Amino acid sequence: MGAFLPVRPSWVLPFGILLLLAPAVAADPTVTMPSATQGVARWTFSNPANYTVSNVSLEIGRAALAEVSGSVGDFGLGEFSRALLLDNIDVTSQPGRAILQNTSRPGRATNLTFQAIPAQLDDNYLWSGGGANGNFGFSPNLFVGYWGNPEWTRAILRWPALPLPSNATLLSADLQLYMHTADTPDAMDVTVHRMTTAWTELGSSWNDYDGSNAWNASGGGGDFDPIALDGVGGITTATGWYTWNVTPAAKDWWAGTAANHGILVRQANDDLRVSLGRKEFYSSDATNSSLRPRLVLTYTTPSSTGTLESRVLGPGTQTTWRGISWNATLPAGTAVSLHTRTGASPLIDATWSPWTPAYPSPGSAITSPTGSFAQYRATLFTPSASSPALLSVSLGYECYAPSGILVSQPFFPADLVSWGSLETNWTGLPGTNATLAYSQDDGATWVPAPPGSSLAGVPLQPISLRVTLVTNDTTRTPTVRSVSLGYALRGAGGGFLYLPVVGPFWVLLIPLLILAAWTLAMALRRGKFDATDLFLIHADGRLVLRVGGRESPLQDELAVSGMFTLVAQFVKDSFRRAGAERGDLKNFRVDDREVTVAKGDYLFLALVGEGAPPPELQGNMARFLERIERSQRATLRRWDGFRDGVGETERMLTGFLRKGYRHRPLLGGRSARR
């Protein structure tokens, strides 16, 4: 509970006189007298205690539909099983968790072009001329073709290792060679074959496989499988890339089911010695690295995915979606991504927005547009046998109540002759409305009264007013600034502020003079109080803002940090126990400074000052903190820790520190927690 000042005997007499002589004053409406016989009562919602409300929020000069905030989502225990789509998702074997049903699915095919540097590729061409012992392992060319002895050439290539993930499954492999020259225009069919004997790049020749040992084949020219892996027909003079499918050989190399001795490229059936000239291709030693031989590999890795598209969620009224949160367990390498979409119908139709990109982390702001309903999509991924597990998903939202009412207390001025015109000052976007009605039988019946209605014929009895607020788009609210009712009086009176009384007006002077004298005396007894610093602290312990006056003793970061540490520890010790409520206030002293702390729903306000705190400080701090929490809710309730969005809050704190904490109620009474 708040720390209230004790009642002192010296106060009893002034309060007793006030109780005896003070007229019956209503805080709302405020009454003004345009003339001695004309009055206007204006309701500006300055005191919520003067109204009965339902789904309406009040502050000075503003009545609006109450904000409704909440969250929807799935929290296990069978809720995931209500999803509209479950693709490779298991929601039954581990109750309350959504996991992958099959973690051994092959992932999407990946294409990899492997254009090796010389160290990654052994290549050479075999030439029957010059004694058939020449080695061309450093040549930038690979020659292929039979052009009559001694111009008979074949090319050989071998990749000692393929650059694939260890858990990859090879789907296909293509050999690509770039032909830069055709020595004759003859159309040549070129085939590729498995090599069947190991060889060395700098030792192999037409006769030998390593510079000293002969090929097994009679007449040399390399040992190879005569059955071609693939062939390209009719190569003439067109330069460019030519492609052969070598998948069977590459799969065996990768799986280790056959020795990797590489590939031989030759003129198809060149052993028949049909002279078709020679085609020249680039080797791995070509100066232009982009034209060197390459392997185009297609493979997959075990990377199972699953998709859950939730049931349709939402309050069913137009809503601003705020934040998305989720809870998941993620073994190494696994991932869970979340997306949202929104719409106006409980059935997925054309009103629904597209799926958003994946949100970066839990707590991200929802980027889907406003809508009455929402849906989330969760994608689970694993590159191994371990599955991620989705435990819960929550979507936060805010909207206004679709309708609300406020009812004033009965109003009846003394010496009433007749009621006058009833007016309302309200604003609102299309689809919103504010209507008036009045009652003279304590709300048993209500009579609609359009703005501007004359109530001249209404009986001279106490009257209550009802304002009904409605909206067909709950992201919007009508706003009523004031309601006024004119009336005519029988006798003299008037003045700037008219307070309905029974008896002559001069009686008012006695309590007002006593009140003024007593207020002055109390102010002199209290002494001066100067507020120097104001701290706004989040419920989780973070400092949101600190503002300091010109006379602040906290002029360096060390002093600010020290005071904040004391305040934060005091908040932890004094408020975070069972029974602490919104509006509680506490005090403590640091050296010659008084620190007063007010507790809100999700914020704490700490005021540092010198001197004895005035009694109205408690009420002023409680009301000011409530106003901050209400007006800055969207920014501060889920504050992200950055200063970018708290400029308006800082201005409010500065104004309160400068003069707002000194605000004194009309009657000088001590403020209590509401």
What one-character-per-residue DSSP string does 348-386 give?
--TTSPPPPPPPSSTTEEP-SPPBSEEEEEEEEEESSS-
How many Cα atoms sit within 13 Å of 407 on the Cβ side?
Answer: 15
pLDDT at 565: 73
pLDDT at 634: 82
Nearest to 22 by CA among 671, 508, 519: 508
pLDDT at 671: 39
With a CB cutoff of 8 Å and minimum separation 6, the contacts of 89 are: 80, 83, 98, 99, 100, 101, 306, 307, 308, 380
Run of H or E residues at 13: helix 9-21
Split the chain (674 residues) into runs of 10 and give each run's mean pLDDT. 38 40 57 93 93 94 94 88 96 93 87 94 94 92 93 96 92 98 97 98 96 93 97 98 98 96 98 96 97 97 92 94 96 96 96 97 96 97 93 96 96 94 95 96 94 93 96 94 95 45 43 61 62 88 82 58 72 60 70 86 89 84 90 83 80 85 55 37
- Helices 9-21 and 509-526, axial angle in degrees (round to 10): 160
Helix then strand then coil, in percent of the chain rounded to 5, is 15, 40, 45
Nearest to 380 by CA among 367, 393, 397: 393
pLDDT at 268: 98
667 sits in the region (left: phi over 0; alpha: psi -120 to 50; else beta) called alpha
Residue for token pair 């992958």:
100
pLDDT at 19: 38
pLDDT at 156: 98
pLDDT at 592: 78
Alpha carbon distance 286, 276 (integer Å): 25
pLDDT at 645: 76
pTM higher than the cut 0.75: no
DSSP 440: S
